[in-house]
Chain A
Amino acid sequence: MTGPLLSVRDLRKVFNAQAGFGRPSAGVRAVDGISFDVEPGETLALVGESGCGKSTLGRLILQLIPASGGQVMFEGVDLVHLGTRPLREMRRRMQMVFQDPFGSLSPRRSVADIVAEPIDSFGLAPSRKARREMVADLLHQVGLPSSVMDRYPRQFSGGQRQRIGIARAIAAGPSFIVADEPVSALDVSVQAQVINLMQDLQESRGLTYLFIAHDLAVVRHIATRVAVMYLGRIVEIGPKARVYAAPHHPYTQALLSAAPNPDPDIPKRQIILTGDVPSPSNAPSGCAFHTRCPIAQARCRMEAPELRPVGGGHQAACHFATDHPIPVPS
């Protein structure tokens, strides 16, 4: 082993909300001191509910938004403190796949122009002909015929668009891809096609993924390791098999218990959390989960728990972490 591909240390992002309309100016700690490593060739899945900061974390890692503090070490280089030009060079090595890859793109650009964007911006094609050949090859790798090259985004279905988005992401030969909810908007039969494609590309190109998702069944299928986020922090991280078989944080336990299972014979032993996720602009004191936690005690209101090892490379941030599922409150 040569060490991790990516090391995130104490990464922070504070959004300064505008004051006004009866609202005082307050910093929203969207990402609140996160540390983890990603090993080469693995898929680390980042799961959590809306507003937990998982998408912000993905964008911070690629420096698409500036960090408020901390380090992002990619192949030994700290991206947070890197100048604009060297950062641009590093971008060849890391790319992003979005939920709807065309949502932010001009509908008037052809598929060839979209896929070739990284090729053009890094000057990778010596000639027009070479560029077309590279695009054709990329389309082939994602299972599309090269004849789609001169067509436009609106002529494609959601699954085909995601294939085009993936072709663009691999165009400059990255080693690391942040995929932000890449299959959430797709129908189940198409979702399976895109998941299989991502796994095939990982194998053939040696890719490392940070896979951001909220669907626990999809994550169970694709991940090597899983990190669970709640209100800007990682509350549990570990190898997939361990996290799914023996979740230690009460939030992970509730999340897994709430996920509907497509089997009518599985008994519903549901831990149903009460209340909503608190707003990150007004995060609870101590452990941010204590307002919804079925086992919270006085200490949880005062003292924020740190991630601590629970065995087998598995960590949980809970004062009372245990692999015994919490009894269902009746």
Chain B
Amino acid sequence: MTAAVEDRPLLRVDRLSVEFGGPAARLRVVDEVSFDIEAGETVGLVGESGSGKSITALSILRLVPEPPSHLAGGRVLLDGVDLTTLPRDQLPDIRGRDIAMIFQEPMSSLNPVQRIGDQVAEAILLHQKLDAASRRARVLDLLRLVGIPDPSRRIDAYPHQFSGGMRQRVMIAMALACNPRLLIADEPTTALDVTIQAQVLALLRDLKTEFGTAILLITHDLGVVAESCQRVVVMYAGRVVESGPVRAIFRNPSHPYTRALLQSIPRLDEERRRLHQIPGNVPPPGPLRAGCAFHTRCAERLLRCATDRPPMMQLGGGHQAACWLAGPMAQAPMAQAVTP
């Protein structure tokens, strides 16, 4: 027990599967997703719309309504405690205190008729025993920390008096109110202008350095990932197709989807005559699929890709890809697969 405890990640998502709908039409939107988050690190969860990245994140805190969804398998371990089997009345203790979450559109997450300061204070009220005066002082500290100018005046303002960037700062202040060990940020800068996005990303980096908060950053923007994350998890059609250290993913992408994605984005620093196109569209959610989820659009597919689900191939240094063509072991069995 002792040795295992030492190596335990802060959060382990272990073969998590989430389905929607009844037995008649069952849609698997998260399919055996696994990844770890170590204390103090920033992990990027990337994918296009419909990849299941947001449902994965929401499922960690069991924020997806059940029904229509249900857990179809797997575990979510926070410090070794399985959140999926925790009694529902214990979840509020975890939310906000251990794990906090911020969303893309801060306006819809804030109460329009409640003062900013009272909303930030609510999280403190739920988890910490402080009198009104110290609570207000703590709120002022938090607003100052996230860079809201003139906090003693702004504390009594309403959300509509704030710009988009300032509202996202308020959300971050609320999330930080109880010093969570993990911050889940779902597209936190997608609705913001690029100069404001730079401010918010810098703020998240500072918080990580100062308080050691681990961050799960959900985004579709590979630029944001390259800039902010130590490790990356790439999702496609509900599955993890590749994960690893950020440099390995960008320098040596080993799943054809990751490669195609990187080639299809226009670059700031180089001229591309024509953008690489991935043919077709992301498949709509469906029942549990055989084979590799990407095989219908993959330029490198083998016959077995339609029928055999590729396992995670270990590529060294924590880099792994779910592709029959990835990895040093792939060569021999692959050759057999091509010739029917």
Contact = CB atoms under 8 A, between A and B. Distances in A.
A272 B205 CA distance: 13
Q: Please give me the 9 A-B residue pairs with the lowest Cβ-Cβ distance, nearest first.
A: A260-B223, A221-B266, A49-B193, A258-B198, A187-B48, A192-B275, A192-B264, A262-B222, A189-B278
B276 to A, nearest CB: 6
A35 interface: no
B310 interface: no
Contacts of A297: none
A266 B227 CA distance: 9
A270 B200 CA distance: 13
A191 to B, nearest CB: 7
Interface string B158-178: 000001011000000000000
A187 B49 contact: yes
B226 A196 contact: no
Nearest to B250: A264
Interface string A273-316: 11111000000000000000000000000000000000000000
Interface string A125-145: 000000000000000000000
Contacts of A215: 266
Contact of B48 (A188, A270, A274, A276): A188
A82 B29 CA distance: 55
Given A191-B264, A217-B268, A255-B195, A261 B223 contact: yes
A261 B199 CA distance: 15
A165 interface: no
A263 B261 contact: no
A159 interface: yes
Given A187-B282, A188-B222, A262-B223, 13 more contacts: A49-B194, A157-B281, A159-B281, A188-B220, A188-B264, A192-B276, A214-B194, A216-B194, A217-B265, A259-B194, A260-B197, A260-B224, A276-B163
B247 interface: yes
A63 interface: no
Contact of A221 (B195, B225, B275): B275
Contacts of A262: 222-223, 225-226, 250, 262, 265, 267
A276 B163 CA distance: 8
A259 B268 contact: yes
Given A157-B281, A262-B265, A268 B227 contact: yes
B194 A189 contact: no
A35 B82 CA distance: 63
Contact of B275 (A196, A255, A273, A274): A196
Interface of A: 49-50, 157, 159-160, 187-193, 195-196, 199, 214-218, 220-222, 244, 254-266, 268, 270, 272-277
Interface string B194-221: 1111110110000000000000000011
A77 B129 CA distance: 72
B269 interface: yes
B274 A196 contact: yes
Contacts of A258: 194-195, 197-198
Given A255-B195, A258-B197, A259-B194, A217 B267 contact: yes
Contacts of B224: 260
B289 interface: no
Given A244-B268, A262-B262, A272 B198 contact: yes
B260 interface: yes
B339 interface: no
B48 to A, nearest CB: 4
Contact of A264 (B198, B199, B221, B226): B226
Contacts of B193: 49-50, 214, 277
A50 B222 CA distance: 22
22 contacts: A187-B48, A188-B220, A188-B222, A189-B264, A190-B281, A191-B265, A192-B276, A215-B266, A217-B265, A256-B268, A258-B195, A259-B268, A260-B223, A260-B226, A260-B227, A262-B250, A262-B262, A264-B250, A265-B247, A270-B198, A273-B195, A273-B198
Nearest to A221: B266
B272 interface: yes
B194 A255 contact: yes
Nearest to B274: A196
B2 interface: no
A195 B227 CA distance: 25
A116 B201 CA distance: 45
B277 A196 contact: yes
Contacts of A191: 264-265
Contacts of B221: 260
B246 interface: yes
Interface in B233-268: 246-247, 250-251, 260-262, 264-268
B266 A195 contact: yes
Between A191, A222, A257, A262, the greatest number of chain B beta carbons within 10 A of the residue's beta carbon is seen for: A262
Nearest to A195: B275
Contacts of A160: 281
A196 B272 CA distance: 11
B102 to A, nearest CB: 18
A274 B166 CA distance: 12
Nearest to A49: B193
Given A192-B275, A192-B278, A272 B199 contact: yes
Nearest to A270: B198
